[in-house]
Amino acid sequence: MARKQPKTADSLPLVAMDLGSDSVRVMAARRIAPDLFQILGVEERPQKLGNVCVEQGIITQSSNAGYVIAEVLKLLANRIGVDELPTAFVCLGGQSMQIVAVHSKRDQARRKEISQELLDDMERECKEKIELRNPEVAVLGLVPSYFKLDGVEQDEMPVPEQRAALIEAHYIAFYGRKALDTQLQKAYSQAGRSIEHAFVRPECLLSAFATCDGNQVLMNGCAVLDLGAQTTSLTVYKGGQYLLNKVVPKGGYHITRMIEQQGLSFNTAEVLKKQYGFASPACISKSVRLRVPASPEIGGDVIITSQELAEVIELKLQEILSPLMEELKKVEDRIRTLYITGGGSMMQGMAEYIQSLTALNVQYGAHNLLLHRDTDDKYLSPEYTSLVGTILLGQDYRDNHKNQPVRQPGFFDRFKESTLDMFIDQN
């Protein structure tokens, strides 16, 4: 009887997953030309209040997260007409994420080709250096900074055709609390799925922006202000180096909570923010009077003007953005562009408001040039940029790791994790 050949990742659609604090999103795509993709399908599983399994980028309940991961991947498989999606590329963020420079050297004794296996081994060494130095942290992603081949520096990753005796690889490592990585691995194991590779969110966003606007933007220097549901982050990058990565544990969710204090339910406050909310009263041309249902505890209606709503929003935005803009001012003279992205950036007047806080050129980060022209307009929104960037990086990863077999956790892996969770819960 012929032995069944293991399934390889190359034979599957590219799948990207973003574990957000408000929802878990997955996207399937395929490459149709260099740096051009067709979206095959998207699924989303909103997190329900009282049953949240991801907070501020960290999985807090691995069993619940495993269920959600399995559910959205099954829905996505059904949508695109395949039997199963056993693996995914993951986009990682989180409040605890920090950066550090790290490097590795290899002497091949003589000039010869630079294999992908050698480069992978150098990456592993860099990861182990950091984790052995501090057992409480895990490296979440390594972003290439630059390489030296026999003393000659280059920004691009070496290709097999290049030859060198002495190789230096310099990376920027994103690391965070070990629980972030441990819980992620447990959740995927319980879902019966595997992580093909994980990328950090700043790398996904910058890769998308650079492909659309040209790498010169990265060489000149840029910042990315990513306004999420429970976190807002600022990343500053120039010429192969991450100059800054700072995260504030507040985002769009906290703005909604502030509006809720006007005597509204959370859902009504969220609708008001999305449909009538402005980042600042200065962005409103004409204030309108709004009558909305009060919270069930109060009853009746609440009258609020768009001017008053903007005042509430601006107050919370100032609290969220002030520490980030202070950090940005320290490096402002070294860069030229500030990209804004994330679901929170879609609030009316957001670009104008942030422009009033900085002398940099402020613009929305775009990923439209990475997608086929027939793509539904809703997928061009900033809230999908991280997924599209993950698809782009995932294709690069597959190009460098041909015929990689798909690993799926077996029954005993899932049983072990479930039993451990039950033991922890009971104690």
pLDDT reported for residue 1: 41
Task: Give the Cα separation of 307 and 315 in Å (integer).
Answer: 12
Q: Is 264 helix (H, G, I), strand (E, B) or coil?
A: coil
The two three-digit tokens of residue 210, written as one number: 């650079």
Say if residue 67 is in the same domain as residue 108. Answer: no
What are the b/e assignments for 393-418, b being 16+ CB within 10 Å? bbbebbeeeeebebebbeeeebeebb
Please count the structural domains in the chain. 3
What are the b/e assignments for 186-225, b being 16+ CB within 10 Å? bbbbbbbbbbbbbbbbbbbbbbbbbbbbeeebbeebbbbb
Say if residue 319 is in the same domain as residue 235. Answer: yes
Task: Please report whether residue 2 resides in a domain.
Answer: no
Say if residue 332 is in the same domain as residue 403. Answer: no
Strand partners, 28: 15, 41
Nearest to 318 by CA among 274, 235, 254, 394: 254
For 195, how many CA atoms within 13 A lie in the half-sphere containing its CB? 22
Residues 364, 385: contact at Cβ < 8 Å? no
Say if residue 62 is in the same domain as residue 198. Answer: yes
Say if residue 275 is in the same domain as residue 417. Answer: no
Strand partners, 348: 278
Task: Please report whether residue 242 resides in a domain.
Answer: yes
pLDDT in tens, the chain (427 residues): 444 556 788 889 999 999 876 788 999 999 999 999 999 999 998 765 445 566 656 677 777 888 889 999 999 999 999 999 999 999 987 666 788 889 999 999 999 999 999 999 999 999 999 999 998 888 988 888 899 999 999 988 898 889 999 999 999 898 888 877 888 888 899 999 999 999 999 999 999 999 998 888 888 899 999 998 888 999 999 987 899 889 898 999 999 999 999 999 999 999 999 999 999 999 999 999 999 999 988 988 999 999 999 999 999 999 999 999 999 999 999 999 999 999 889 999 999 999 999 999 999 999 999 999 999 999 999 999 999 999 999 999 999 998 888 876 643 344 344 433 433 333 3
Task: Give the Cα separation of 180 and 98 in Å (integer).
Answer: 13
- The CATH number assigned to the domain holding 141 equals 3.30.1490.110
- The one-letter code for the residue type at 256 is T
The range of the structural domain enclosing residue 267 comes to 217-367
Say if residue 110 is in the same domain as residue 198. Answer: no
pLDDT reported for residue 48: 57
Task: Please report whether residue 333 resides in a domain.
Answer: yes
What are the b/e assignments for 79-99, b being 16+ CB within 10 Å? ebeeeebbbbbbbbbbbbbeb
Residues 158, 114: contact at Cβ < 8 Å? yes
Say if residue 61 is in the same domain as residue 125. Answer: no
Nearest to 303 by CA among 290, 294, 314: 290
Say if residue 108 is in the same domain as residue 86. Answer: no
pLDDT reported for residue 424: 37
Nearest to 98 by CA among 54, 58, 138, 133: 138
Task: Please report whether residue 4 resides in a domain.
Answer: no
Task: Please report whether residue 348 resides in a domain.
Answer: yes
Say if residue 75 is in the same domain as residue 126. Answer: no
Say if residue 321 is in the same domain as residue 373. Answer: no
The structure's pTM equals: 0.85
Task: Give the Cα separation of 118 and 58 in Å (integer).
Answer: 32
Residues in the chain: 427
Task: Give the Cα separation of 326 and 314 in Å (integer).
Answer: 17
Phi first, then psi, for residue 260 (nearest 5°) are -55, -30
Strand partners, 264: none
Q: Is 3 helix (H, G, I), strand (E, B) or coil?
A: coil
Q: Which pairs from 125-128 meet CB under 8 Å and 24+ separation?
A: 126/102, 126/169, 126/171, 126/173, 127/173
Say if residue 268 is in the same domain as residue 195. Answer: no
Task: Please report whether residue 342 resides in a domain.
Answer: yes
> Residue 353: which H helix or E strand, with range?
helix 350-355
Say if residue 362 is in the same domain as residue 379. Answer: no
pLDDT reported for residue 426: 34
- The CATH number assigned to the domain holding 268 equals 3.30.420.40
Residues 367, 384: contact at Cβ < 8 Å? yes
